[in-house]
Amino acid sequence: MPELALVVGLGNPGDRYVGTRHNVGFEVLDALVRRLAADPARPARIDRLDCRALTGRVKIGETPVLLAKPQTYMNLSGESVKGLLVKHAVPRERMLVVSDDVALPVGRLRIRPSGSSGGQKGLQSIIDCLGADDFPRLRMGIAGPRFRPGEDLADYVLERFSKVERGPLSSAVDVACEAIETFVAEGIDAAMNRFNRAPETVPAS
């Protein structure tokens, strides 16, 4: 039996945050569940509370995967993630964390095997709780064409995507689902080689 993988999507719980930039990690996991559930042989749901996260067990190929959406709010995500890693005995290198990244434009994604949080509060919480930053992450670009460095991030990340941004975002979410499947089946190097490229982005207005 292949080793269990853990895929974590970061976001904030509650209807008020649905569709916001900060919740793109949740959005990717929801899309992955829909993708997997299209095959009747692979039922998929994220509806079980475990270590303060909504979780679901799926299979990608022959590999068992635990999907998790921490319900702690973004800044405390690490508490939930650490609990899941310990409880389910998942090595850090078999965990992929999906988060938003204001340093990337909408439509871009980037996969890395380790590194700093880049100021993303959920990633920083995970790093702080684990005492390590050597875990893979998939960063989803959320910077729209009108975003300017130095803008108040606290307000910006809680905004919803515009209609113009939704096209490139939807394409990036689909690519992210493929990247997750590649990470699970083939590993981080294969995922980086295949998906660290520049897809469609939102043109400047």
Enumerate the active-site residues: 22
Phi, psi for 194 (deg, rounded to 5):
-85, -30
Distance CA 93, CA 76 (A): 21
**Interacting residues of 152 by C-beta distance below 8 A, sequence separation 6+:** none
Complete DSSP assignment for 136-180 = -EEEEEEE-TT--TTS-HHHHTTSBPPHHHHHHHHHHHHHHHHHH
- Which secondary-structure segment (H or E) carries 191? helix 188-195
Distance CA 170, CA 100 (A): 14
Phi, psi for 46 (deg, rounded to 5):
-120, 90
The residues with which 137 forms a beta bridge, in sequence order, are: 97, 112
How many other C-beta atoms are found inside a 10 Å radius of the C-beta of residue 164? 14
Distance CA 5, CA 8 (A): 10
